[in-house]
Amino acid sequence: MSRQQPPQVHLETFGCQMNEYDSELVRSLLTRDGFVFTDDRERADVILMNTCAIRENAHNKVYTHLSDLRALKRQRPLVVGVLGCMAQNLKEELAEKEPLVDVLAGPDSYRHLPELITKAMESQEQGELRRQMAVDLSEYETYDDVAPDRRDGVNAWIAVMRGCDNFCSFCVVPYTRGRERSREPEGIVAEARLAAAEGFKQITLLGQNVNSYRCGDWDFARLLVAVADVPGIERVRFTSPHPKDFPPSLLDAVVSHPKICKHIHLPVQSGNDRILGLMNRTYSRSAYLSLVDQIRSSAPDIVLTTDVIAGFCSESDEEFSDTYRLLEEVRYHAAFIFKYSERKNTIAARKWPDDVPETVKSERVTALADLQRRISHERNRAYLGTTLSVLVEGDAKRSSLQSKGKSDGNITVVWSKESVPADPGQMVRLSVYDCSASTLYAASTGDRACRPKSV
């Protein structure tokens, strides 16, 4: 580089946990090559957006940010890069409609970023303004040799695999992240040891379908236990498994290992068999409910959460009612509920019209959210008067006089710092005295003022 000072990079992340992890890889790869990072985009020479193409909200946020950058780019030299799933799935659209984008790099192309950014900066200096692109998918890239550049916190994300072979008809992941490939278990366990040495107390293992993990004679259950056995790690979580192939060995690991959290996120998406078939979920409503029964028979106190899509192509009122009734029957602790939004290049976008009116989708999402809020509140009331182990995360959102953390079941717990002073990463024992649908309120186990309230 001809510059005397290293280029300053501002990196923004949109979307899922895998994108958070990928941003840590990007920071590591660029730092190796002499780039430095800044939280102040006004000082940045390079602004990168690591994007998500799965959820419409994240998609819209990226376009809003790009619009905001136009004025900034008119004021001074600036390289703008779009990374990740949108760069992969919408490369033609971004190349044609967003002239301010200088760099496009897909999820398998982050090793090329130092070169792409350098060429883009040189192109600007020479007045040529040539876009730099690397959007090829790989059958082999896992970034196994790249140590993520993690920021402070108590949780370390670790991707155990990349890509997906499920081809759910609504999902763009196989087209943006490629086919499924698993990392070597030794590299994953070594990364967990490194995270523990850096002070992280919790590991969350990531994959589009973690129970498809395979490497030699290692399956995901064996890997999960190996990570949970790493000294210094207090808790291990994972997301997300697929209901179609949830092996008994994985449930046994969750139930038996004290450091594997008693929380399973089990996406259902729909409670109707015809819609599940259109979604290519490869399980039926009855098979899903049978798995829920199996899990709860093994661990009655386990926390179950899920994902639901409302308003999928051709979903009728009665078919939606099947989903509503499934939530009533399973009684999840929490659910992430989304309106169906058509994603370019998916099977659904190619085969069927997005024909459920937006008003109907919104009504269905509201109905499910209202139901789940009532169930979540009832679920949380069961914790009143109980004592929980909580991993401290930091200040509560609403007050710096309060701390927050997560229970083993991944439920948010809030308490007064005066009652229980503790630093992030510590484990504390707390008594629950109040709750909302999303939060447990707690105090010291010895606090006599800690009484269950009427809520």
Give me the pLDDT at residue 452, please: 42
Phi, psi of 375, rounded to the nearest 5 degrees: -65, -45
Give me the pLDDT at residue 59, please: 72
Q: 206, 17 in Cβ contact below 8 A?
A: yes
pTM listed for this prediction: 0.93
Q: Please name the residues in contact with 33: beta carbons below 8 A apart, sequence gap of 6 or more.
A: 114
Domain 8-134 matches domain 383-450 at the CATH topology level = no
For the CA atoms of 360, 363, 367, 373, the dihedral, rounded to the nearest 10 degrees, stands at 130
Phi, psi of 34, rounded to the nearest 5 degrees: 95, 0
Give me the pLDDT at residue 2, please: 46
Q: 237, 202 in Cβ contact below 8 A?
A: yes
Give me the pLDDT at residue 63, please: 80
Give me the pLDDT at residue 384, please: 98
Give me the pLDDT at residue 3, please: 55
Nearest residue to 163 via CA among 206, 127, 115, 121: 206
Using CA atoms, how far apart are residues 105 and 86, in angstroms rounded to an integer?
9
168 marked as part of a ligand binding site: yes
Specify the DSSP element, H or E, that contains 388: strand 387-395
Q: Please give the CATH architecture assigned to the domain spanning 155-381.
A: Alpha-Beta Horseshoe (3.80)
Q: 167, 349 in Cβ contact below 8 A?
A: no
Q: Please tell me what DSSP assigns to residue 184.
A: P
Other Cβ atoms within 10 Å of 288 Cβ, number: 24
Give me the pLDDT at residue 455, please: 35
Nearest residue to 241 via CA among 185, 199, 278, 283: 283
Task: Give the start-to-end residue ranges of the domains of the chain.
Answer: 8-134, 155-381, 383-450
Other Cβ atoms within 10 Å of 273 Cβ, number: 16
Q: pLDDT tens string for the chain (455 positions)?
A: 445 689 999 999 998 899 999 999 999 999 999 999 999 989 999 999 999 877 777 777 888 888 888 888 888 899 999 999 989 888 888 877 778 899 999 999 999 999 999 999 999 888 777 889 999 999 999 999 999 999 889 999 999 999 999 999 999 999 999 999 999 999 999 999 999 999 999 999 999 999 999 999 999 999 999 999 999 999 999 999 999 989 999 999 999 999 999 999 999 999 999 999 999 999 999 999 999 999 999 999 999 999 999 999 999 999 999 999 999 999 999 999 999 999 988 999 999 999 999 999 999 999 999 999 999 999 999 999 999 999 999 999 999 999 999 999 999 999 999 999 999 999 999 999 999 999 999 999 876 445 444 33
Q: Both tokens of residue 161? A: 């695999």
Q: Please name the residues in contact with 116: beta carbons below 8 A apart, sequence gap of 6 or more.
A: 81, 103, 105, 132, 133, 134
Give me the pLDDT at residue 447, please: 67
Nearest residue to 387 via CA among 425, 433, 424: 433
52 marked as part of a ligand binding site: yes
Using CA atoms, how far apart are residues 170 and 62, in angstroms rounded to an integer?
21
- Tell me: domain 383-450, CATH 1.10.357.10, correct? no
Helix axes 185-197, 220-228, angle to 10 degrees: 20
Q: 67, 101 in Cβ contact below 8 A?
A: no
Using CA atoms, how far apart are residues 321 and 274, in angstroms rounded to an integer?
13
Give me the pLDDT at residue 454, please: 37
* 170-202: burial string, b at 16+ Cβ within 10 Å, e else: bbbbbbbbbebbbbebebbbebbebbbeeebbb
Q: Is the dihedral of CA 349, 353, 359, 365 positive or negative?
A: negative
Helix axes 17-32, 113-125, angle to 10 degrees: 70
Q: 433, 451 in Cβ contact below 8 A?
A: yes
CATH fold of 8-134 reads Rossmann fold (3.40.50)
164 marked as part of a ligand binding site: yes
Nearest residue to 268 via CA among 207, 186, 323, 196: 323
215 marked as part of a ligand binding site: no
3-class DSSP assignment, residue 443: strand
